[in-house]
Amino acid sequence: MKNAPKEACHYRTEHGRHICGLCPHGCRISAGSRGICGSRLGDEHILLADNYGKVATVNIDPLEKKPLYHFRPGEEVLSVGGWGCNMGCLHCQNNSLSMARGGGPSGRRVEAEELVAICHREGLRNLAFTYNEPTIWHEYVMDVAELADGIDLIYVTNGYINPSPRSEVLERITAMNLDVKGFSESFYREVAKADLGPVLDTAEDALESGVHLEITYLLIPGRNDDHDQLQAFCRWLSSLSPDVPVHFSAFHRDHLMQDVRDTNAEDLLRAFSLAKDSGLRFVYLGNLPVSQGRDTVCPRCGDVAVSRKGYRTDTSGMRRGACASCATALNMRL
Ligand code: SF4
């Protein structure tokens, strides 16, 4: 029945309280109250996914905007997001959506079939769950995946999800951009109100499952950009695979973090050098105009394989996902 309340998955009920198993917070939710993410609502007998199908925004974007630079460069994607988040980042740059704690305004929801129909109508083969955290839209994403024949699903995520729902997601998606928000447990606890470990597990599992993975790291001056933290991050990523593209992105003051200066070009370039020195082969810089970190440069011969100006992409330096000059593989999914 359309618009009927949707029961949540991944929970159990004990002594009249519902214990959510979707993410590591493990919220205990009684009737009439909600979990930390705001999306799960306790009913007397069941837990509800109160945000099911409540779409806050739908846009057609370049894939580069997610950012995904090594996944079908130059193609477009249907980008969809809802309300709420299971992290509480002090600096959230999408806080008007992510901090909504009521599961989103009530009203007509966008059924899974309608979303798939939009992709077909627009001739798109890419559908991204983005803007807010897709983990808390699990039931909706699973229903969309069931119908998304010929459409590849993409997650833009904080990676804070438990192993069982994580494997359900990884079976169904093709690409992921994962936010690593810092590289210390204390940073995660203070700034994101979450733990780092499950996020790293998500990256490792994504790679093992064959999902195309790119990582974003927002550089916050004085908070997560010190040499040791950045080096530990780059070494971890390099040990997973030096071919995973990493996007260092510039912070600007937002939401509750107003006491930190904005990232400058020098900060970005320092992270770029450190990442390259750590062996990472595809390093990108975003949110500020800088001299490096836009184009895909062949790590062997140094030729530009993909050049980018704004969101315009020129792939003429690439042949079948490899460098056109020396045929070096570039970890591209076409
Ligand atoms: S998904 Fe939401 S309700 Fe469930 S454990 Fe995480 S924050 Fe709590």
Reported as a single tens digit per residue, the pLDDT across 30-44 is 999 999 999 999 999
What was the pLDDT predicted at 96? Answer: 82
pTM for this predicted structure: 0.96
Compute the distance from residue 276 Cα to the ligand 1 centre, in Å.
37
Compute the distance from residue 263 Cα to the ligand 1 centre, in Å.
32
Residue type, 8: A
What was the pLDDT predicted at 103? Answer: 65
Q: What is the mean pLDDT of each run of 10 residues along the chain (334 residues)?
A: 83 97 98 95 96 93 97 97 93 84 72 96 98 97 97 98 98 98 96 97 98 98 96 98 98 87 96 98 94 95 96 96 98 97
Instruction: Locate 321 and state its tokens.
Output: 């996902």
- Residue intervals of the chain classified under CATH 3.20.20.70 are 57-293
What was the pLDDT predicted at 1? Answer: 59
- The domain 57-293 is classified under which CATH number: 3.10.20.30, 3.20.20.70, 3.40.605.10, 1.25.40.10? 3.20.20.70
What was the pLDDT predicted at 257? Answer: 83
For residue 257, what are the β-bridge partners?
254
Compute the distance from residue 262 Cα to the ligand 1 centre, in Å.
31
Full DSSP string of 145-171:
HHH-TT-EEEEEE-----HHHHHHHHH
Q: Look at ligand 1, atom 3, and give the residue with the nearest C-alpha.
A: 35
Q: Look at ligand 1, atom 2, and give the residue with the nearest C-alpha.
A: 37
Number of neighbours of residue 265 by Cβ within 10 angstroms:
14
Under 8 Å between Cβ of 54 and 74: no
> Relative to the CA of 36, which ligand 1 atom is closest?
7
